[in-house]
A and B are shown apart, each in its own frame.
Chain A
């Protein structure tokens, strides 16, 4: 860590020194406009504007039927969150899901990337297979696994009985203790392949002479991975963690398709609870407030990760 901060500081100093010169040369913002305009236009109109709308709604009381009925209530919605036990439960589930899915996706993807990098025959075939789930729509994945897991008609229980593990047969999604871990497992099933590929792409970019030098120095395979490969993977790990965390906090589709937050809120997360409040319970303002909390959490988390990630980037 200590060795990393030095170049970062140096480059920051260089940037500060270069700044007045560049600023004095040309109106660069003018040159930037045509490049930025299209992206900024669509971003501002179709993402930022509705987002501001949601922020505005979060300080209102509105049933969502008639725009004339909107009532400004200040921070009442946010105060009400404190007493909403389902909100806290959902927040917990979000964090559990975040930690679970990010750790699993990252470690599974990294481990497989390393394993598939060992130049064993058929590695390509396995790589292709592992990427497959990512291509499939989450709606499809959700429905297929609902059918697979169905205790009455699905595959899992008869399968367990067939291999003599009948005592493990369970209610799966119907078991409040298992429902959320199952959702995590399915999310990992769907998503690890892509991250594995990102790791593989970084592995390939490591010059072979670094490995060779390590082996010349008498390192074995493990030591090579530990001392040469992994340190070079750091920034990619950071990137994967960032992407996986953002994806995890946005979690909605799988829950919506498989359980709608049930049974009895066992898989409820902030986005589904906000959805219920806004679209079923006539509380558009309150639902928006829940989403604002979710956005704030995501933003803080991503901000920390992005700023850290960028610092490493510049080395």
Chain B
């Protein structure tokens, strides 16, 4: 056993390390370059900063309002993801539990939502938001993202269906109604799946920039990707500033990820998305 591990290690570690370098280097480069001023970057793109220049960050936070964008993104993402989890688990329970006419076609129609790219919807979506008087509000984005339940329903329906019959029967014998069955038996069981779905949703909502671009008209309401895009459009030739904006937009989610990493990973590893 010990010997075979050594051989495995000899083969695998170089691969692991090379890959880790390919992933980390661009990020590390971006971060240390953000501490260089522009002439220093163009003099030598590789070089580590000779002194810690903080001017870029000052500009990013004073001119760039990156803090504001971050707050907006966080608010929108958290509310959207919370809603998505609630709505999709409720619906998934219905699809997994009840037999009713049209349930399969309905389910298929819901799956359609997985496939629709945002840019396919913005023209009619904008008109809709203008009719509903939601333009330039966070709700325009949150409600739009609430429409993304398809993925959660797909995953959770499979999960709920896979819950062994005797667990459900035992609860029913105890006189549990559907509401209790859902909230007290199924949801706790589904916690790992829920956390995996939450990560996917968070990622999608966090990254999305077409909807904020057309629905949000006040720059103070921009989200992080949009803020970065515009900030970089404004300081196009100042790589140092760009790097600082990118670093802010990257480091914060990375920190969040590392803080919650245990839960995230435990969630995924605990067998969410049961295959």
Residues of A within 8 A of B (CB): 19, 22-23, 28-29, 31-32, 34-36, 38-40, 42-43, 45-54, 56-57, 64, 112, 115, 118-120, 122, 126-140, 143-145, 147-148, 153-155, 158-159, 189, 194, 197-198, 200-202, 204-205, 221, 233-236, 238-239, 246, 249-250, 252-253, 257, 271, 274-275, 278, 284, 288, 291, 294-295, 298-299, 302-303, 306, 310, 313
B interface majority secondary structure? helix
**B119–A271 contact, CB under 8 A?**
yes
**B16–A126 contact, CB under 8 A?**
yes
**B207–A115 contact, CB under 8 A?**
no
**A47–B98 contact, CB under 8 A?**
no
**B115–A200 contact, CB under 8 A?**
no
In the complex formed, the residue of A with least CB distance to B132 is A45
Partner of B99, one of A22, A249, A299: A22
**Alpha-carbon distance A138/B205, docked complex (angstroms):** 12
A45 to chain B, nearest CB (A): 7
**Alpha-carbon distance A32/B227, docked complex (angstroms):** 42
Partner of A246, one of B115, B123, B125, B206: B115
Q: Does B121 contact A (CB under 8 A)?
A: yes
A interface majority secondary structure? helix
**Alpha-carbon distance A233/B273, docked complex (angstroms):** 12
Residues of B within 8 A of A (CB): 4-5, 8-9, 12-13, 15-16, 19-20, 22-24, 26-27, 29-30, 42, 45-46, 83, 86-88, 90-91, 93-95, 97-101, 103, 106, 108-125, 127-128, 143-144, 146-150, 153-154, 158, 161-162, 178, 182, 196, 199-200, 203, 206-207, 209-210, 224-225, 228-229, 232, 239, 242-243, 246, 249-250, 253-254, 256-258, 261, 265, 268-275
**Alpha-carbon distance A48/B272, docked complex (angstroms):** 28
Partner of B124, one of A35, A53, A148: A53
**B98–A46 contact, CB under 8 A?**
no
In the complex formed, the residue of B with least CB distance to A138 is B207
Additional 4 contacts, C-beta under 8 A, given A135-B256, A274-B120, A310-B158? A42-B87, A118-B12, A205-B271, A249-B117
A-B contact pairs, 26 of them (CB 8 A): A35-B178, A36-B91, A39-B87, A42-B147, A46-B144, A50-B121, A53-B127, A57-B123, A57-B124, A115-B15, A128-B258, A129-B20, A130-B23, A136-B27, A136-B249, A137-B249, A137-B253, A138-B225, A139-B225, A144-B26, A155-B26, A155-B29, A201-B271, A284-B123, A291-B120, A306-B111
